[in-house]
C-alpha cells in the first residue's frame, strides 16, 4: 500500500497496536496448550488468564465472567438465543427486541426465529426511542417467556451514544434481559457493565487495536447464561468449546489494557481533530449534512452526506485521493448499499452517507489532507452533479 495514504476508517478496523503486536510475539514463543497441565501448558494458561483480566478491566467486570469468542458476530449469536439457564433451571426468552439502528449481527436475531424479533424505532436524531421501548415491553406477552432487549452503546455509523442505562431500567422493570453491543464504545468512552446495568456485553478485539478473530462476551453475573454455542472439550467453561485462538486473545488483552488507559485525555485530543475536520468540511461545502451533530457522539466519528453524491461514488473518489473511509458499516463483504441507520432516522433511503472515523494516531495533517480531498470532490459534484 502507498505510504502517502491516509487511514480514516478506525471504526471498521483499528490498526494493530504496538502493545498487541509485542504481546502476540511473546505468545508465539510458547508451545503449550492452555488446557494442558504440564509447565508449558501452565505458562500458556497464565497468559490466557492475564488477557482475561485485561479484557474484564476494560468494562469493570470480573475476569471469571469473560468468555472469549471469535468476534462480535459470534458473540451476538451466542447471546441472542431463546434458551438460557439459571443454574440448572431452564429459562425461556420469548421475544427479542432490537433497535432499528443495530449492527446486522444483532438485527439478524441470532438463534431467534425471525417472527420473534421485534424492531424498536429511534428518534429522528438517531437515539433509541425509550417511549416506544417502554410501550413494547408493556405489551410483551410474558406467557411465552421473558423479553430480551439488545441495544448498542455507540452506533457504528453515526457514533451516537445510546441511552443504554435508561433502557436497561425499563427492561429490568419488565423482567427482561439487557444485551449491550459495546464494540464501538470501549476505548472511546468509559464503559462499566455494572453502571450501565447490562446483563451481557459484547466487545471486539480489532476495533481497539487488537488482532482480528477475537472478541468477548461479558456477563454481569455467573448464574444466568445462554445455551452453549459450541460443545466439545469444555473450554471457556463449556460455553465455547475448542482450543482458544490463543495468540489473538493475547493480543486482544494487551490492546484492551492500552485502550483503557487515559480514555478521556486521548479522546479529548481526537475530538479536537474531528472539530477541525467538520469545520473544514462545512467551509468547503456549506450544504454538507453531519448526522448526529446535535446529540452526544463519541469523539472519533463523523457520518456525513454531500447532497447529490452517492455513497459508492464518494467512497471511490476518496480512495482515489488516497483517503480510506467507509460508506457506513464494513460488515457486508465489501457491498455498499443504503444505510438502514439513515432510514431509521427518517431520511430518504437513497440518501448517501460516508463515515470518517479517527484514531489516536490520526494527525491534524491527516485531517487537512482529508479536507482538501473533500473540497475537491465537493467541487466536482457542484460542476457535474456527481463526483467522478
Q: Is 50 helix (H, G, I), strand (E, B) or coil?
A: helix
Q: Name the H helices within the chain.
A: 18-28, 39-58, 72-79, 104-107, 130-138, 164-173, 246-259, 263-284, 311-320, 340-344, 364-384
* Cβ atoms of residues 301 and 357 within 8 Å: yes
Place of cell 460516508: 354
Pairing of strands 323-324, 117-120: unpaired
| Lookup: cell for 83 | 434458551
- For the sheet with 354-357, list strands across it: 289-291, 301-305, 354-357
* Residues 7, 15 contacting (CB under 8 angstroms): yes
**Annotated catalytic residue: which of 316, 331, 336, 351?**
331
The rounded distance, in Å, linking the Cα atoms of 82 and 227 is 9
Distances 161 to 61, 276, 296 between C-alpha atoms, Å: 21, 21, 6
Instruction: Give the three-state DSSP class for 254.
Output: helix
Q: Is 331 a catalytic residue?
A: yes
The set of catalytic residues is 331
Amino acid at each position: 500500500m502507498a505510504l502517502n495514504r491516509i487511514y480514516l476508517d478506525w471504526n471498521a478496523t483499528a490498526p494493530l497496536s504496538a502493545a498487541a503486536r509485542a504481546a502476540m510475539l511473546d505468545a508465539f514463543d510458547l508451545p503449550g496448550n492452555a488446557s494442558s497441565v504440564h509447565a508449558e501448558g501452565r505458562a500458556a494458561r497464565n497468559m490466557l488468564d492475564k488477557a482475561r483480566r485485561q479484557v474484564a478491566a476494560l468494562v469493570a467486570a470480573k475476569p471469571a465472567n469473560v468468555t472469549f469468542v471469535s468476534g462480535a458476530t459470534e458473540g451476538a449469536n451466542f447471546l441472542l438465543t431463546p434458551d438460557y439457564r439459571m443454574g440448572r433451571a431452564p429459562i425461556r426468552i420469548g421475544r427479542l427486541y432490537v433497535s432499528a439502528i443495530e449492527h446486522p449481527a444483532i438485527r439478524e436475531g441470532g438463534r431467534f426465529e425471525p417472527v420473534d424479533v421485534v424492531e424498536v424505532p429511534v428518534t429522528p436524531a438517531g437515539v433509541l426511542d425509550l417511549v416506544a421501548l417502554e410501550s413494547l415491553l408493556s405489551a410483551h406477552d410474558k406467557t411465552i417467556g421473558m423479553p430480551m432487549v439488545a441495544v448498542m452503546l455507540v452506533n457504528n455509523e453515526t457514533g451516537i451514544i445510546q441511552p443504554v442505562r435508561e433502557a436497561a431500567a425499563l427492561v429490568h422493570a419488565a423482567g427482561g434481559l439487557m444485551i449491550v453491543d459495546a464494540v464501538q464504545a470501549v476505548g472511546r468512552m468509559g464503559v462499566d457493565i455494572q453502571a450501565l446495568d447490562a446483563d451481557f456485553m459484547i466487545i471486539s478485539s480489532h476495533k481497539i487495536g487488537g488482532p482480528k478473530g477475537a472478541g468477548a462476551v461479558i456477563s454481569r453475573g455467573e448464574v444466568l447464561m445462554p445455551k452453549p454455542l459450541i460443545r466439545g472439550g469444555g473450554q471457556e467453561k463449556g460455553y465455547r468449546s475448542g482450543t482458544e485462538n490463543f495468540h489473538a486473545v493475547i493480543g486482544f488483552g494487551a490492546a484492551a489494557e492500552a485502550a483503557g488507559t487515559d480514555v478521556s485525555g486521548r479522546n479529548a485530543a481526537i475530538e479536537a481533530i474531528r472539530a477541525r475536520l467538520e469545520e473544514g468540511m462545512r467551509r468547503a461545502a456549506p450544504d454538507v449534512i453531519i448526522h448526529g451533530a446535535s446529540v452526544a457522539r463519541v469523539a472519533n466519528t463523523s457520518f456525513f452526506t454531500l447532497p447529490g453524491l452517492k455513497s459508492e461514488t464518494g467512497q471511490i473518489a476518496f480512495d482515489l485521493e488516497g483517503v480510506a473511509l467507509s460508506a457506513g458499516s464494513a460488515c457486508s463483504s465489501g457491498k455498499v448499499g443504503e444505510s438502514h441507520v439513515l432510514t431509521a432516522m427518517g431520511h430518504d433511503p437513497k440518501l448517501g452517507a460516508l463515515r470518517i472515523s479517527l484514531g489516536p494516531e490520526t494527525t491534524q495533517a491527516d485531517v487537512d489532507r482529508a479536507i482538501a480531498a473533500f473540497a475537491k470532490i465537493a467541487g466536482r459534484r457542484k460542476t457535474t452533479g456527481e463526483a467522478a
